[in-house]
Chain A
């Protein structure tokens, strides 16, 4: 578990903010912790809950040795309830159980805390069910919503919570850290777009299949500049056999999106930090030949494909359609 020094380094402002809330004894009834992957929302949530429930906190730091601190980390604290998404969504049943749990007094004295992980996955029905309790909690209750995207939470929940924004690790620092530990500059630039977590980035950069995926995506992007037949061939020969799982396709589409984003950035400002510094010359070429309008339509096409993937479209058809869409734009130029 990360100790206070690590947390202060990771999120200095948020950590101080939470400590002040505790020090001034102003623990609110609902918080939203917003931060992308690797920004430490989970760690700081556990830190905050321990701080609230700890038997003898010292200098606004939980003691880590008392019964309550230990049980929060082992998941056995009776007054802390955590809710995770079940599949795609957080379902109404789970909320019902939570509410009936919250309508009773705590098994032990003290504040009750409930944490909703990936709160953006609350479906509309669940979110609405939670509203009334969120607004008028019975007893001494605190809610913490963890999310990567606050805008995906319905506004009626947002307006009832205090918003705590977690800062991303600056990309150049992440790249620096990665290159220091022997990752190539170009690979570091790519993985730092996908994640803000150092360990995760490191794992990705070392991953053989990720390197392969990156190669395939670049091959496809280059092919789309040339002709549609070659692109189609790559789809069937490389892309489809390689990306079988939905998550893999999702990452691959993200990588593709970054490639087009690079072209836009290069067109706007040639000094920019790219996702793929190694293919700079090809992209520069493409940037010269394509208009902003076309590029924006192409970005749109990739985003549409990503959405279609979420609604379980056939992967072959989706990719073929994407290539044709990218191509179609070109033929108008």
Chain B
């Protein structure tokens, strides 16, 4: 195989795929990146087994010739080495040529590198994608969805399936759920075009965090394909594959209480700041517990008391109050995470007693739902 390419454009592509390459991999071939040359252009693939990033450099872009394909083919080259070499080449034109024994020659100006490659057939195969299991979301919305759910995934490996976010397509909407069994975040999105069947995958939280780093804040559409092995997010520049988590995600629908005995409407930002202050005196090692109690129909009190440190009380105005009086304790960290995800709007908090989980939603819509389990205090 042989091709020549503009160095700047190749570096851009390498930058994207290098994000997936990790030096800590058990499969030796994954320390390399795969380069596929076809008559349409150059495809680069990098992977750390969990996530795989693929990018395509076309022969022509904006009327400029970028790649000259002399002979198609595939090769796997050491990722770090190849990246460093390309970065330091003297001129903007790079010629890459692979001889029969996987000897790769990289030429630019007067410098001439010989690199030993690996057989491209050793590289893992990416799954076949079928269009009937496809949904499309704008990039900025996708990013928001990730931000609103991924914080709630479990960080311990005791139940691996909880380290992921469940994506379920059902009744013309996409529902994303994350829980670590103490709290739950749920986001609903109504979809315009629906796939032909119901789908249900659990995507690792780490992969989603990586994905959101790559996504831009523009409303460009991102196509999402789900297969049995992997999920693919397809943006104009890159293809992002992630493995899925095995196992059955617990049924969360029964956790969300349907009726409530106390409903409080409050400004999310004011509450967030109040809890932030109260948590200063809450002890880290005791789950950061703060107490929330209703005083009258116009105010609630946030308080925290650590005998060894001191105590704090703060009154916050509320917009409306319905139902029974209530005193409840919960983790300040979970509450703040939830309020940050809802983004400072007016929120409705629905309680069903001091020992039952409560939900937080935005007043405007019920796309986002946050559920928190209270803490028992005496």
Instruction: Tell me the A residues contacting B by CB distance below 8 Å.
Output: 67, 70-71, 74-78, 81-82, 96-97, 99-109, 138-139
Q: Which residue of B lies closest to A137 (CB)?
A: B246
7 contacts between A and B (CB under 8 A): A67-B121, A103-B160, A104-B50, A106-B229, A107-B124, A108-B127, A109-B127
How distant is the Cα of A81 from the Cα of B125 in the complex, in angstroms? Answer: 17
- In this assembly, does B268 line the interface, its C-beta being within 8 Å of a C-beta of chain A? no
- In this assembly, does B57 line the interface, its C-beta being within 8 Å of a C-beta of chain A? no
- List 9 A-B pairs, minimum CB-CB distance, nearest first: A103-B160, A138-B246, A76-B29, A139-B246, A138-B247, A104-B243, A78-B124, A76-B122, A105-B244
Is there an interface contact between B27 and A105, defined as CB atoms closer than 8 Å? no
- In this assembly, does B28 line the interface, its C-beta being within 8 Å of a C-beta of chain A? yes
**Choice from A70, A75, A96, A107 contacting B243 with Cβ under 8 Å:** A107
A75-B28, A76-B27 given; A107·B49 CB < 8 A: yes
Is there an interface contact between B28 and A108, defined as CB atoms closer than 8 Å? no
Chain B, range 294-333, C-beta contacts under 8 Å to A: none
Determine the chain A residues whose CB is within 8 A of the CB of B244 once the complex forms: 104-105
Determine the chain B residues whose CB is within 8 A of the CB of A67 once the complex forms: 121, 125
Is there an interface contact between B229 and A105, defined as CB atoms closer than 8 Å? yes
How distant is the Cα of A141 from the Cα of B160 in the complex, in angstroms? Answer: 16
How distant is the Cα of A103 from the Cα of B163 in the complex, in angstroms? Answer: 10
A104-B243, A105-B246 given; A99·B229 CB < 8 A: no
Q: A76-B29, A104-B243, A105-B228 are in contact. List 13 more A-B contacts (CB 8 A).
A: A74-B29, A76-B28, A100-B160, A101-B26, A104-B50, A104-B204, A105-B230, A105-B246, A107-B47, A107-B52, A107-B230, A108-B127, A138-B246
Chain B 233-245, CB-CB to A under 8 Å as 1, else 0, gives 0000000000111
Chain B 23-50, CB-CB to A under 8 Å as 1, else 0, gives 0001111000000000000000001011
* Most chain B CB inside 10 Å of its own CB: which residue of A82, A97, A104, A108: A104
- In this assembly, does B157 line the interface, its C-beta being within 8 Å of a C-beta of chain A? yes
Is there an interface contact between A71 and B161, defined as CB atoms closer than 8 Å? no
Determine the chain B residues whose CB is within 8 A of the CB of A109 once the complex forms: 127, 228-229
Determine the chain A residues whose CB is within 8 A of the CB of B230 once the complex forms: 105, 107
A70-B121, A71-B122 given; A105·B245 CB < 8 A: yes
B231 to chain A, nearest CB (A): 10
How distant is the Cα of A102 from the Cα of B246 in the complex, in angstroms? Answer: 8
Determine the chain A residues whose CB is within 8 A of the CB of B123 once the complex forms: 76
Determine the chain A residues whose CB is within 8 A of the CB of B160 once the complex forms: 99-100, 103, 138
**Choice from B29, B47, B124, B246 contacting A103 with Cβ under 8 Å:** B246
**Choice from B122, B229, B245 contacting A107 with Cβ under 8 Å:** B229
Is there an interface contact between A108 and B125, defined as CB atoms closer than 8 Å? yes
Is there an interface contact between B27 and A75, defined as CB atoms closer than 8 Å? yes
How distant is the Cα of A47 from the Cα of B161 in the complex, in angstroms? Answer: 32
How distant is the Cα of A67 from the Cα of B29 in the complex, in angstroms? Answer: 14
Is there an interface contact between B246 and A104, defined as CB atoms closer than 8 Å? yes
How many cross-chain pairs have Cβ atoms below 8 Å apart between A and B? 72
How distant is the Cα of A74 from the Cα of B228 in the complex, in angstroms? Answer: 26
Determine the chain B residues whose CB is within 8 A of the CB of A97 once the complex forms: 26
Determine the chain B residues whose CB is within 8 A of the CB of A138 once the complex forms: 160-161, 246-247
Q: Which residue of B lies closest to A103 (CB)?
A: B160
How distant is the Cα of A71 from the Cα of B243 in the complex, in angstroms? Answer: 20
Determine the chain A residues whose CB is within 8 A of the CB of B204 once the complex forms: 104
Chain B 158-200, CB-CB to A under 8 Å as 1, else 0, gives 0011010000000000000000000000000000000000000
Determine the chain B residues whose CB is within 8 A of the CB of A76 once the complex forms: 27-29, 122-123
A172 to chain B, nearest CB (A): 42
A35 to chain B, nearest CB (A): 25
A33 to chain B, nearest CB (A): 21
How distant is the Cα of A144 from the Cα of B230 in the complex, in angstroms? Answer: 25
How distant is the Cα of A74 from the Cα of B49 in the complex, in angstroms? Answer: 17
How distant is the Cα of A78 from the Cα of B126 in the complex, in angstroms? Answer: 11
Determine the chain B residues whose CB is within 8 A of the CB of A70 once the complex forms: 121-122
Determine the chain A residues whose CB is within 8 A of the CB of B245 once the complex forms: 103-105
Is there an interface contact between B157 and A78, defined as CB atoms closer than 8 Å? no
Determine the chain A residues whose CB is within 8 A of the CB of B28 once the complex forms: 74-76
Determine the chain A residues whose CB is within 8 A of the CB of B52 once the complex forms: 107
B255 to chain A, nearest CB (A): 22
How distant is the Cα of A107 from the Cα of B207 in the complex, in angstroms? Answer: 14
A23 to chain B, nearest CB (A): 26
How distant is the Cα of A82 from the Cα of B160 in the complex, in angstroms? Answer: 20
Determine the chain A residues whose CB is within 8 A of the CB of B26 once the complex forms: 81-82, 97, 101
How distant is the Cα of A76 from the Cα of B47 in the complex, in angstroms? Answer: 13
A136 to chain B, nearest CB (A): 9
Is there an interface contact between B157 and A99, defined as CB atoms closer than 8 Å? yes
Chain B, range 194-252, C-beta contacts under 8 Å to A: 204, 228-230, 243-247
Is there an interface contact between A96 and B157, defined as CB atoms closer than 8 Å? yes
A74-B122, A96-B157 given; A103·B247 CB < 8 A: yes
Q: Which residue of B lies closest to A107 (CB)?
A: B124
How distant is the Cα of A109 from the Cα of B29 in the complex, in angstroms? Answer: 18
How distant is the Cα of A183 from the Cα of B21 in the complex, in angstroms? Answer: 53
A259 to chain B, nearest CB (A): 44
How distant is the Cα of A81 from the Cα of B49 in the complex, in angstroms? Answer: 12
Is there an interface contact between A78 and B228, defined as CB atoms closer than 8 Å? no
Q: Which residue of A lies closest to B121 (CB)?
A: A67
Q: Which residue of A lies closest to B50 (CB)?
A: A104
**Choice from A78, A99, A103, A104 contacting B27 with Cβ under 8 Å:** A78
How distant is the Cα of A3 from the Cα of B26 in the complex, in angstroms? Answer: 27
Determine the chain A residues whose CB is within 8 A of the CB of B29 once the complex forms: 74, 76
How distant is the Cα of A100 from the Cα of B245 in the complex, in angstroms? Answer: 9
Q: Which residue of B lies closest to A106 (CB)?
A: B229
Is there an interface contact between A103 and B121, defined as CB atoms closer than 8 Å? no
How distant is the Cα of A209 from the Cα of B121 in the complex, in angstroms? Answer: 45
How distant is the Cα of A102 from the Cα of B26 in the complex, in angstroms? Answer: 13
How distant is the Cα of A71 from the Cα of B122 in the complex, in angstroms? Answer: 6
A139 to chain B, nearest CB (A): 4
How distant is the Cα of A71 from the Cα of B119 in the complex, in angstroms? Answer: 10
Is there an interface contact between A100 and B157, defined as CB atoms closer than 8 Å? yes
Determine the chain B residues whose CB is within 8 A of the CB of A106 once the complex forms: 229, 243
How distant is the Cα of A100 from the Cα of B161 in the complex, in angstroms? Answer: 10
Determine the chain B residues whose CB is within 8 A of the CB of A71 once the complex forms: 122
Q: Which residue of A lies closest to B227 (CB)?
A: A109
A175 to chain B, nearest CB (A): 41
Q: Which residue of B lies closest to A74 (CB)?
A: B122
How distant is the Cα of A150 from the Cα of B88 in the complex, in angstroms? Answer: 55
Determine the chain B residues whose CB is within 8 A of the CB of A102 once the complex forms: 246
A90 to chain B, nearest CB (A): 14
